Structure 1
């Protein structure tokens, strides 16, 4: 444990640029360690299989047909195909009639849709020879499992002719769930990460690419399997935990409130879910929180610098002021290179920086600071953004990397501005704080009574109470002119307001970067309760217990843990909630 605590101390010291290193006590390090350890256990438990079919069989216009011989007439119930990286493949399934000498269609136009997932195709036919014809120009099949009508696995006698299709039969799961397959947008981001690694034409080009590059790192280490493509999401979900603690401790100067605030993050259902799915949102959220953490450091460092007049030098900005400002810009660069929501965060940073700098520095120093920021908030983000296009294959002809990035950016803008799509689980911005429409990422039947469900939603005990805390913090900013409250409000609004005019479909997870600042607002509110009421600490502790219990109440339907369907139905607190099917 001592080694782990030392590692956390070193990591925290890199985030903390205090020269006196007095921000955190031994107690703080211990609290951070416990939260990291707890969330790590929660996030990695049943994350996904560390194996998946990897050898592949390809079809094309000259090799469309797969003919399987079972040696005798058998009742074939279904075929399950684990697709490679090409989605929505079409097949025609037929049986050979030895009497007539003709092929009889069993299922003439069937589709396997999901990449890196098991796709079941019903056959329900008695036959010896099974014909599977790919009607697309090309298809990539990683494995095929044939089952009888009673569910037993059948191996054709000519399996060696299609060895890549029948060499990993042991990987076929008894019940198809998120543990062995992609879910929701993993079919875009996880797939594209795989394509980056193999130099294949990228499928998902509607977002900047740093997040998919990060997902690819997990795949390189652990393989193209559920554990591999989700690993980096878990890592960044864990990274947010100590970052939230550091931010809360810096804001509120209280270990108790920093602990309470971090507890809310650890037991928020959406933080948990987004940390366990191979999408880019958890990366973007981490970088957004990080850029605001360093911007707030810039304010506090400058205040300390001003209080030590004797230590002033001709060098401006001084190192201890310039460093957090530079790190904020670098964090913003990483955020924008992950998702354009980083640009929204950048607007908030600009408001905060200009507001503080103009009111605290003479004109000459303001100009120097603005010049300094041009490098770290303009040039560095542009450089990182362009570099993240290096692994992308598939754009039209381009002259150089800058032209490639420009074409990609125009393509992204056209996609998002012209997107006309509908989705049952979509929801407008004004519904997000109330958790009006959770998003069902995965739902699979385990048996007659149990389901495995992964719902993306907030913890009601946190999100609903958070609305009241938001109102209190806004009140403190507007009517009490509290600058700390103003900082939190501006950061929150920067993540929320830009979504209001968006006409394309949106989902509740788009609210997650904003909820990070709601949790900090809750910390602000808890601090005031603690300071103004003798019963404050007891009330806060009791509330935290309720929030933790609420998390575990919803745990089965946000984690994919098999649960009675009836249990999931009883959690339908609002009429729009569909947490299990």
Structure 2
């Protein structure tokens, strides 16, 4: 049994220690994305994730507990005189109707604006079932999922970096991120979707490691050359779990479909890289023959089935809105008569939702004072003010201000562009698969919104960017520590410089989060302090 040193940092170059095959050249990490000729390839060592499992779980649970404290402290504030704030006013009553009505349905589109699938409202309803119709009730499950996301990100980054320390750094950064913090303390839908998305990505990374373990076993048994396409990999439970979670993400908000498409590409990329790394003679054809159809069914079809399953109460209801539209607003003839009436009615319902969103455009006259476009999201340049109240408390000589602002912690979010530049360089030049994971998630959360810039948009549409920004920053910090550890000249001094620099940065992140705490939680502050919190004109 071996134990890693307390502050071990593993990098791809360190951890891909290759197992030599007689007559072959030593391998490099670049093989992992498949840019090395087959005759020069070695077989990667079967090392996946950090090896200090016990310490890893202790660190994970401690940081998750700290994150839970930040998410649950004073969770019941602020409110609008005991009622929901901001868009909670839509989803909280809908969740209550789900809980108190028939068949777990919300069916009043005229008042409730039922324009999103039901899963997020079911989650809110769980908290309302436990605590009742108050702020703790409608925010409880948001705080639970926001806390669990900290655990998932720690474990995911730990697996990517093969370092418990880097995983812990990711946990600290996520705890101090203003976007996920506020999302975890409000009864809105976004926190549920990004939790399902990050959990799905974790499953895909676990599937990558499991498939490489299977490939390695085939290699050791000498069966790799039995087919030019490589071995069949069997049923992939981690990938199936990812499909279920992606279906729940789509069942929370439609934008989950972007992650389905991006993650399918990522999973197939992992399969190509694995077959190349183990010397399969036709890796691309192998993926087409062995992996493409199973991946399509698993990550493509299963999320659709899960999405449809989330409408099971709607299908079972006799009174659900738009449940029986065939023969009323939908004709009984036409080329789609073979489709069951229930699915045609659901399509009518969903097409109405799409029509509602498609008319929320600037050209149609829809403008909002806190609207923002996607190019402002990476640096959180135009946040959202969820709540503000002046007085009646006294803070010094003036009335107090209570405000809740949906905003990214600047010392994290203002590094988004350098993070993306570094990630692109590592992915395309150094062939670093870890940054491919980060960029895939970031791209799915960000790029599709450029497809219709006329649409009315807000910063909270970019909530899903946050965990991938944190993951990228944590991996970069790991690279800094690794580079200082590998320095050939004055290694002790460089290691000290790296550790001190990283410690200062993390300390600044924590201080920045503490400074912003009042405007993230609606705590009473003076007008002078409120003005000091507004760093940019675009924040007001």
Q: Secondary structure at the match of 2:245?
A: helix
Note the alpha carbon deviations across 1:138-180, whole angstroms, 9 max, x for none. xxxxxxxxxxxxxxxxxxxxxxxxxxxxxxxxxxxxxx84572
**Deviation for aligned residue 1:31:** 1.6
CA distance in 1: counterparts of 2:157 and 2:284, whole angstroms: 31
- Superposition pairs for residues 103-122 of structure 1, below 5 Å? none
**Deviation for aligned residue 1:46:** 1.2
The match for 1:423 among 343, 365, 368 is 368
* Structure 1: unaligned runs, 5 residues or longer: 1-17, 50-175
CA distance in 1: counterparts of 2:372 and 2:287, whole angstroms: 46
1:329 partnered with 2:231: no
CA distance in 2: counterparts of 1:339 and 1:179, whole angstroms: 29
Shift of the 339–528 alpha-carbon distance from structure 1 to 2, 3 Å rule, reads same
Q: Secondary structure at the match of 1:452?
A: strand
**Deviation for aligned residue 1:257:** 0.9
Whether the 8 Å CA contact 1:417–1:504 is kept in 2: the answer is: yes
Note the alpha carbon deviations across 1:435-470, whole angstroms, 9 max, x for none. 211100011223251121110000001111233222
**Deviation for aligned residue 1:298:** 2.0
**Deviation for aligned residue 1:509:** 1.7
- Superposition pairs for residues 17-28 of structure 1, below 5 Å? 25-28=53-56
Q: Secondary structure at the match of 2:463?
A: helix
1:48 partnered with 2:10: no
Cross-structure match for 1:506: 457
Shift of the 431–383 alpha-carbon distance from structure 1 to 2, 3 Å rule, reads same
Cross-structure match for 1:473: 423
Q: Which moved more, 1:467-476 or 1:229-238?
A: 467-476
1:549 partnered with 2:511: yes
Whether the 8 Å CA contact 2:379–2:416 is kept in 1: the answer is: no
Aligned length, in residue pairs:
433
Between 1 and 2, higher relative CO (CA 8 Å, sep ≥ 6) is seen in: 2
Shift of the 389–565 alpha-carbon distance from structure 1 to 2, 3 Å rule, reads farther
Cross-structure match for 2:12: none
CA distance in 2: counterparts of 1:45 and 1:486, whole angstroms: 36
| TM-score (normalizing by structure 2) | 0.75
Cross-structure match for 1:394: 321
Cross-structure match for 1:185: 87
1:381 partnered with 2:303: yes
| TM-score (normalizing by structure 1) | 0.70
CA distance in 1: counterparts of 2:465 and 2:434, whole angstroms: 17
Cross-structure match for 1:532: 483
Q: Secondary structure at the match of 1:444?
A: strand
- Superposition pairs for residues 146-185 of structure 1, below 5 Å? 177-178=79-80, 180-185=82-87
Shift of the 516–238 alpha-carbon distance from structure 1 to 2, 3 Å rule, reads same
Note the alpha carbon deviations across 1:253-297, whole angstroms, 9 max, x for none. 111111111110011011110001111100110111112111122
Q: Secondary structure at the match of 1:540?
A: helix
Q: Secondary structure at the match of 2:387?
A: strand
* Structure 2: unaligned runs, 5 residues or longer: 1-45, 276-282, 315-319, 327-340, 393-397, 485-494
Note the alpha carbon deviations across 1:292-313, whole angstroms, 9 max, x for none. 1111222222222222224679
Larger strand share, 1 or 2? 1
**Deviation for aligned residue 1:327:** 1.4
**Deviation for aligned residue 1:21:** 9.6
**Deviation for aligned residue 1:25:** 2.4
Larger helix share, 1 or 2? 2
CA distance in 1: counterparts of 2:90 and 2:216, whole angstroms: 52
Whether the 8 Å CA contact 1:185–1:279 is kept in 2: the answer is: yes
**Deviation for aligned residue 1:511:** 1.7
The match for 2:265 among 351, 363, 378 is 351
Cross-structure match for 1:455: 405
Cross-structure match for 1:571: 533
**Deviation for aligned residue 1:491:** 2.3
Whether the 8 Å CA contact 1:205–1:408 is kept in 2: the answer is: no
Whether the 8 Å CA contact 2:258–2:445 is kept in 1: the answer is: yes
Cross-structure match for 1:494: 444
CA distance in 2: counterparts of 1:21 and 1:453, whole angstroms: 42
**Deviation for aligned residue 1:556:** 0.1
- Larger gyration radius, structure 1 or structure 2: 1
Cross-structure match for 2:191: 282
Cross-structure match for 1:204: 113
**Deviation for aligned residue 1:364:** 5.7
Cross-structure match for 1:559: 521
